[in-house]
Amino acid sequence: MMSAPNPLLAPWTALHGLPPFAELQPAHFEPALQQAMAAHRSELAALGAAGAAPTFDNTVAAFDRTGRTLDRVASVFYNLSSSATSDALQAAQRKLAAPMAAHHSAIHTDRAFFARLDGLHARREQLGLTLEQQRLLERLHLDFVRSGAQLADAPRRRYAEVMEALAQLTTRFAQNVLHDESGWQLALTSPADLAGLPDFLRAAASQAAVERGLTGHVITLSRSLVVPFLTFSERPDLREKAWRAWTTRGEHAGEHDNREVARDILRLRREQAQLMGHSCYADHALADTMAGTRSAVQQLLGEVWPRALKAVQAEEDALQAMRSQHGLAPGRIEPWDWRFWAEKVRRERFNVDDAEVKPYFALDRVISAAFDCAQRLFGLQFTPNPDLPVYHPDVRAYEVRNAESQLIGIFLQDNFARPNKRSGAWMSSLRMQTRNVAVGEAAQLPVILNNNNFAKGAADEPTLLSLDDARTLFHEFGHGLHGLLSDVTFERLSGTQVLRDFVELPSQIFEHWITEPEVLRQHARHWKTGEPMPAELMQRLARARLFNQGYETVRYTASAMADMAVHSLPEAEPPADLGAFEADLLQRAGLPHGVGLNHRLVHFQHLFSSSGYAAGYYVYLWAEVLDADGYDAFAEAGSPFDPGVASKLLRHVYSSGNSVEPGAAYAAFRGRAARVEPLLRKRGLLQAEPA
């Protein structure tokens, strides 16, 4: 027992109610979460036992206010587990995974409370509710139903057991991937090992070595290191080593092997789906999406896949021609060679070289560009405040105010890769926006986090981003704006808590602004000279925009197809060898050998570190239909900052949360449903008609 008070449960007195990060220890979380879960159960029991007849206010709105202490503690726990973990924190994750899942099952299957909620839902049309109130009632009722509230006793208990087991397995899957990512490094020990690497990559590899207590240069499995290495290294043997380490994460025999973990997850997800009346997990997951059905997803993937294959074949022909120019005999292109030869083709065709481009994308400049676009579009002001507590020195904290200078939220940005931080890029929250608070309390302002995994520059130089890295920062910032700009009454409908195939619209549409010429003219300045990016270089970048898009589209779509296929299997037993299943599926679909896919199943965290994107990786493409069509509204208005279009985007997309059905929200913004042609044009696939 700890003698001192638990800082997670004491009042948070830091500025704006931020967590007392400096006081927190891994040992604080288990007792705090256990106590917070008990408090949540007591709150729910009181609602279920209420003597007054159920009303929207005493049942639906009241439920939306429950569990706030648990939300507060759990959000810190999960954010630290992702961004600044430790052995002790990982042990706490494993220990708490099942109890947390059991708690949420118990809450969402509470018979007394659900009877009150169910009765209100049955007569919702007669209650005189506002549209937002009705939306909350419908969403909460669906949450309970999809958690097993309508099941009989035995299947309901089994459903809860399945969810507990899944929570343990998904936690283990994520930790296994982190182990493989943080435990591998490629030391470059001789001048020959550095052949072809531009200065920015050498500087980043040197900094990676310093951070690991080593000398020289080190390539890690951070995307911002391994992708440039595969692009520029003149050493095919070293490229192969890096590629194999990157693509076999989670596939090494021993304690951290994800192959059986993923199969166990698939078994349980199929059982979960069957308990809910579905033949496979994909049907269960898609029932609460914009797409709705597997056939709708397959229709979209089928529209893109053959066009992308045709485009990638033309790209491969160009790579083969480049190999011939370098005196190599005809032969198939290996997956660790594609980026290398593609970069040579890009230089020849468009005279575009990352070594020339990256000096114009210093990290601080790209952050300033994102803030400036948010100000011009939505009137936001981001003011750094070093007095705000943060969990790591890398994190920058900002107060966010609207055009009337009113504080609307807090933004934390954590941009750098670390061994104790999971890979990828993501948005999360420490607090969601809501006005549904107890009498006398102030409305709850959001606290939003963005995480990236950029490789730090050398100590005396800025961190330089590729254009893809800059897009990633804008993408996650778009998610961040979705959380910060939320303007709804109820927490359950706040911010990014929308249907999964709508949540990527605010992030993906914001990516467009990083390549707008007027944004580049203002913010893309050489880090040494301060000179703006030359107009001629901007033109070359614009001409190269569609280069290698077949490759990128095929890699993404292949991963989406594998996801949908493995979650559509009706058999009780998943494939004995998931790698062979994946390879056979993609070979039959015509995936070229040298292209590969974005994520293999054994390390596919979107699918197996949680259920968030399981049978849902397609959503990036679905949302891209919306973002490409939606951004055309600015082009039609004649300005990327047209105030009328920006106002509609803010009102109907960024601030409405889940208070409106997403199809209706998009139509309110655009004036009609989305069309697929802008997506095909954006990816250069309009001319790549399927054979």
Q: Which residues pair with 383 in a beta bridge?
A: 399
pLDDT score recorded for residue 113 = 98
d(CA 507, CA 472): 9
Whether the predicted pLDDT of 644 surpasses 90: yes
Give the helix ranges, DSSP H, for 362-499.
363-378, 467-484
For residue 422, which of 178, 603, 615 has the smallest C-alpha distance?
Answer: 178
For residue 630, which of 670, 676, 686, 684 has the smallest C-alpha distance?
Answer: 670
Give the helix ranges, DSSP H, for 531-642.
535-543, 549-566, 578-589, 605-608, 619-637
Whether the predicted pLDDT of 490 surpasses 60: yes
Residues 6+ apart with CB under 8 A from 51: none
Please report, for residues 487, 504, 518, 558, 606, the alpha-carbon distance to residue 621 in angstroms, rounded to integers and kept in the order given: 27, 9, 27, 12, 15
- Which run of H or E residues covers position 5? none
Q: What is the DSSP string of 107-157?
A: HHT-HHHHHHHHHHHHTGGGS---HHHHHHHHHHHHHHHHTTTTS-HHHHH
The token pair at 670 is: 């655009």
Beta carbons of 117 and 424 less than 8 angstroms apart: no
Q: What pLDDT, in 10s, does the model give residues 334-351? A: 999 999 999 999 999 999
For residue 467, which of 305, 355, 588, 368 has the smallest C-alpha distance?
Answer: 355
Q: What's the mean pLDDT in 469-475?
A: 97
Q: What's the mean pLDDT in 401-428?
A: 96
Active centre residues (catalytic): 476
CA atoms within 13 A on the CB side of 551: 21
DSSP-derived 3-state class of residue 401: strand
For residue 364, which of 449, 465, 228 has the smallest C-alpha distance?
Answer: 465
Q: What's the mean pLDDT in 44-54?
A: 97
For residue 470, which of 397, 392, 368, 559 has the smallest C-alpha distance?
Answer: 368
Count of other CB atoms within 10 angstroms of residue 204: 29
DSSP-derived 3-state class of residue 47: helix
Higher pLDDT, 570 or 166: 166
pLDDT score recorded for residue 688 = 53
Beta carbons of 254 and 260 less than 8 angstroms apart: no
Phi, psi (5° rounding) for residue 448?
-115, 140
Q: What's the mean pLDDT in 294-306?
A: 97
pLDDT score recorded for residue 686 = 79
* Chain centre distance of CA 513: 19
Beta carbons of 615 and 567 less than 8 angstroms apart: yes
DSSP-derived 3-state class of residue 171: helix
DSSP-derived 3-state class of residue 403: coil
Residue that has been written with the tokens 């696939």 in this structure:
685
Whether the predicted pLDDT of 690 surpasses 80: no
Between CA 650 and CA 658, with CA 656 as vertex, the angle to 5 degrees is: 145
d(CA 569, CA 140): 29
State the average pLDDT for the chain. Answer: 96
Q: Which domains does the chain have, with CATH numbers?
A: 15-108+110-146 (1.20.1050.40), 184-247 (no CATH), 294-350+547-682 (1.10.1370.10), 358-532 (1.10.1370.40)
Question: Residues 32, 37, 42, 46: is their CA dihedral positive or negative?
Answer: positive
Q: What's the mean pLDDT in 217-223?
A: 95
Identify the DSSP state of 150: T
**Confidence class of residue 1 from pLDDT cuts 50, 70 and 90?**
very low
Q: What pLDDT, in 10s, does the model give residues 114-150? A: 999 999 999 999 999 999 999 999 999 999 999 999 9
pLDDT score recorded for residue 4 = 81
pLDDT score recorded for residue 459 = 83
Residue type, 492: R
Q: What pLDDT, in 10s, does the model give residues 609-622? A: 999 999 999 999 99
The token pair at 59 is: 């049942």
pLDDT score recorded for residue 354 = 86
Q: What's the mean pLDDT in 480-497?
A: 98
Whether the predicted pLDDT of 378 surpasses 50: yes
The token pair at 290 is: 């914009």
Q: What is the DSSP string of 526-540?
A: -TTT-PBPPHHHHHH
Please report, for residues 5, 14, 422, 645, the alpha-carbon distance to residue 22 in angstroms, rounded to integers and kept in the order given: 14, 11, 21, 43
Q: What's the mean pLDDT in 483-498?
A: 98
- Which run of H or E residues covers position 487? none
Rounded to the nearest 10 degrees, the angle between the axes of helix 236-247 and helix 223-232 is 150
Percent of the chain residues topping a pLDDT of 70: 99
Count of other CB atoms within 10 angstroms of residue 271: 18
Whether the predicted pLDDT of 689 surpasses 60: no
Q: Worst-scoring range by mean pLDDT, 1-5, 250-254, 489-493, 657-661?
A: 1-5
Q: What pLDDT, in 10s, does the model give residues 580-598? A: 999 999 999 999 999 999 9
